[in-house]
Chains A and B, each alone.
Chain A
């Protein structure tokens, strides 16, 4: 694989540059808009030169937004906190429930295992709208309406199937012999799961966890329908800048930047897991 010609390397470089430009240009543009007000954002034709302002970030962080129709109170930081809390706990619960289940499906071909696995996946088919209305009714009866617990439960619809099926694939890719070797060495199934299966599938779990986190983070319809304003995530919060007196593009951009930041930090922190694949180099040759 090392015998790449110069031409090929150039072509690869060009292709990668195009990819980066396509995916990063809008992000860069949003980033620049986050330092502008509508006055400079809405110019014809659009221009690169502007006088940067921190007003958008100030407004978001202090919770005061000055618009054409006066100063508005905004709860953006509260929304951001809700997003962090909901996503983190939902993914944590999903991992807690989904990883053992994924392990069971990968390692133990038991009666009905495929059916159960498919059923768990099929929750992903249900359009959120389909379950939401009846769910609101049931949640009210159960006292789960407008509670974080209820929301975290519903968020399992997003996180659990994803974690279950991706992690399952990783577990299946670990040669069974490695686990057998550990058990024969005198360790219980749980020790084997903890000391062998979990570390080896670690990158897969991290990747699935991050993806689940992103999807949980981006969701807004669940919280919107099931909870009151103080529990809304950042996705709903950012919509507050679409006001009747105009769309505050600068603030939305800043909101996007702020809302990407925690996820991005998480991804950068976990990057070596995310892009590593299984850490099985030695085993699989």
Chain B
């Protein structure tokens, strides 16, 4: 058993609070992604769990045991660092072997262990090289191998793909989930890349300023972001955010977009008459013919292909810029006048002042450490 639990953890540096009364539970075998901008406290949290820094307050439990005052080497953790943190004076083999040596394994066990994990990560041919002779991708795999080799029940991966090139990152993003699942370990994975978070996480914890803003499955985070900030972080191209003031008519609650009333599906009663921000995913917008119901006239400004999508920047008559995304190969407009329609069901509504999403349902919002 290697569940992980943080209870009311506080970490301060000088006068600055880096982690503010944070609580979190990761189930055995679960992969939790810590997602957030730099400076959110993700890395600090990881180091607290690893035991290389100490919390000012709170407890850290691993597998149900209180590890708060236990030194790093006794916590049974494997960790991969963003900058790889390879030992520059040792070969890749020796680097990977260090956790096995700590267990005083025999030479043959070490050799077998290192070679098997190296084969798995496709670095068997560079084991005799020192880090300075390795490519970035090989360094990254070596670092990962070192974290995995001892089969630790708890794996901490600190943005391991950050410093590798795009191609490798893409490959790894495909490989890693299988790799981690095969190990059966509990994983805490830190990233700033939402796609990585979506691809790898059983659950994602979105952090900013030392607080977990939202904790949920990737689906939940994407569909029901807790606030504007999270909505903006997840999704590529980024979500369109427009100031609106919802109103009510007989058909329900609507917002006015370029004189077109777009009716929203959701419990937004409280939003009526308030200053709000509507969040429209670019894929929730689509080009329609003039005269179609709810067609909003726009001017096409520019068009870019993005992966398998085509993203179009359009300008409404009020001059607001909006991104529209459609799968590549589907019809659209690349210039001139056009019309778009909005899928009111997938629209998100946020309070303008606080940025919080309105009408939450199925959404777990965490604030000040209280799990909802």
Complex CA distance for A279 and B156, rounded to whole angstroms: 27
Q: Report the minimum CB–CB distance from B142 to chain A (whole Å).
A: 11
Contact size range, B: 20 to 34
The contact of A186 among B103, B130, B134, by CB within 8 Å, is B103
The contact of A183 among B71, B103, B139, by CB within 8 Å, is B71
Q: Is the CB of A280 within 8 A of B81?
A: no
The contact of B85 among A181, A188, A189, A199, by CB within 8 Å, is A181
List 15 additional A-B contacts (Cβ < 8 Å) besides A180-B50, A183-B52.
A175-B85, A177-B83, A177-B85, A178-B88, A181-B86, A181-B146, A184-B52, A184-B75, A185-B146, A191-B102, A200-B88, A279-B88, A282-B86, A282-B139, A283-B85
B246 at the binding interface (Cβ < 8 Å):
no
Contact size range, A: 20 to 34
- CB closest residue in chain A, given B158: A177
B89 at the binding interface (Cβ < 8 Å):
yes
With A281-B132, A282-B130 known as contacts, the answer to whether A184 contacts B87 (CB < 8 A) is no
B73 at the binding interface (Cβ < 8 Å):
yes
- CB closest residue in chain A, given B130: A282
Residues of B within 8 A of A176 (CB): 52
Complex CA distance for A119 and B356, rounded to whole angstroms: 54
Q: Is the CB of B89 within 8 A of A283?
A: no
Q: Is the CB of B132 within 8 A of A182?
A: no
Q: Which of A180, A186, A279, A280 has the most CB of B within 10 A?
A: A186
User: Which residues in window 86-123 of B have CB below 8 A to A?
Assistant: 86-89, 98-99, 102-103
Complex CA distance for A169 and B371, rounded to whole angstroms: 44
User: Which residues in window 27-80 of B have CB below 8 A to A?
Assistant: 47, 50-52, 71-75, 77-79
What are 10 A-to-B residue pairs whose CB atoms are below 8 Å?
Answer: A177-B81, A177-B83, A178-B86, A181-B79, A181-B81, A184-B79, A185-B99, A199-B89, A282-B88, A282-B131
Q: Is the CB of A187 within 8 A of B83?
A: no
Residues of B within 8 A of A283 (CB): 83, 85-86, 88, 131
- CB closest residue in chain B, given A177: B85
| A-B pairs with lowest CB-CB distance, top 8 | A186-B102, A282-B132, A177-B85, A282-B131, A185-B99, A282-B88, A181-B85, A180-B52
Q: Is the CB of B102 within 8 A of A187?
A: yes
Q: Report the minimum CB–CB distance from B303 to chain A (whole Å).
A: 38
Residues of B within 8 A of A175 (CB): 83, 85
> B-side interface residues toward A, CB under 8 Å?
47, 50-52, 71-75, 77-79, 81, 83, 85-89, 98-99, 102-103, 130-132, 134, 139, 146, 150, 156
Residues of A within 8 A of B132 (CB): 281-282
A225 at the binding interface (Cβ < 8 Å):
no
With A185-B98, A186-B150, A279-B89 known as contacts, the answer to whether A180 contacts B47 (CB < 8 A) is yes
User: Which residues in window 59-113 of A have CB below 8 A to B?
Assistant: none
Residues of B within 8 A of A267 (CB): none
Complex CA distance for A176 and B81, rounded to whole angstroms: 11
Complex CA distance for A183 and B79, rounded to whole angstroms: 10
Complex CA distance for A279 and B87, rounded to whole angstroms: 10
Complex CA distance for A200 and B87, rounded to whole angstroms: 9
Complex CA distance for A187 and B79, rounded to whole angstroms: 13
A196 at the binding interface (Cβ < 8 Å):
yes
Q: Which of B89, B130, B146 has the most CB of A within 10 A?
A: B89
Complex CA distance for A175 and B87, rounded to whole angstroms: 10
Complex CA distance for A281 and B89, rounded to whole angstroms: 10
Q: Is the CB of A180 within 8 A of B88?
A: no
- CB closest residue in chain B, given A185: B99
Complex CA distance for A176 and B82, rounded to whole angstroms: 13
Q: Is the CB of B131 within 8 A of A184?
A: no
- CB closest residue in chain B, given A192: B73
Complex CA distance for A186 and B74, rounded to whole angstroms: 6
The contact of B98 among A187, A189, A199, A200, by CB within 8 Å, is A187
Residues of A within 8 A of B75 (CB): 184
- CB closest residue in chain B, given A178: B85
The contact of B87 among A182, A183, A186, A189, by CB within 8 Å, is A182
Complex CA distance for A153 and B73, rounded to whole angstroms: 37
Complex CA distance for A274 and B75, rounded to whole angstroms: 38
Q: Report the minimum CB–CB distance from B89 to chain A (whole Å).
A: 5
Q: Is the CB of B146 within 8 A of A187?
A: no
With A281-B132, A283-B83 known as contacts, the answer to whether A184 contacts B88 (CB < 8 A) is no
Residues of A within 8 A of B87 (CB): 178, 181-182, 196
Complex CA distance for A180 and B98, rounded to whole angstroms: 12
With A281-B132, A283-B131 known as contacts, the answer to whether A184 contacts B78 (CB < 8 A) is yes
Residues of B within 8 A of A178 (CB): 85-88
Complex CA distance for A119 and B52, rounded to whole angstroms: 28
Residues of A within 8 A of B78 (CB): 184-185
Q: Is the CB of A184 within 8 A of B89?
A: no
Residues of B within 8 A of A183 (CB): 51-52, 71-73
User: Which residues in window 132-189 of A have CB below 8 A to B?
Assistant: 175-178, 180-189
With A282-B130, A283-B131 known as contacts, the answer to whether A182 contacts B88 (CB < 8 A) is no
Q: Is the CB of A186 within 8 A of B73?
A: yes
Q: Is the CB of B52 within 8 A of A188?
A: no
Q: Report the minimum CB–CB distance from B163 to chain A (whole Å).
A: 9
Complex CA distance for A191 and B98, rounded to whole angstroms: 11
Residues of A within 8 A of B50 (CB): 180, 184
Q: Is the CB of B99 within 8 A of A186?
A: yes
Q: Is the CB of A184 within 8 A of B83?
A: no
Q: Is the CB of B86 within 8 A of A184?
A: no
Q: Is the CB of B130 within 8 A of A184?
A: no
Residues of B within 8 A of A191 (CB): 102
Q: Report the minimum CB–CB distance from B71 to chain A (whole Å).
A: 7
Complex CA distance for A196 and B102, rounded to whole angstroms: 14
Complex CA distance for A181 and B102, rounded to whole angstroms: 12
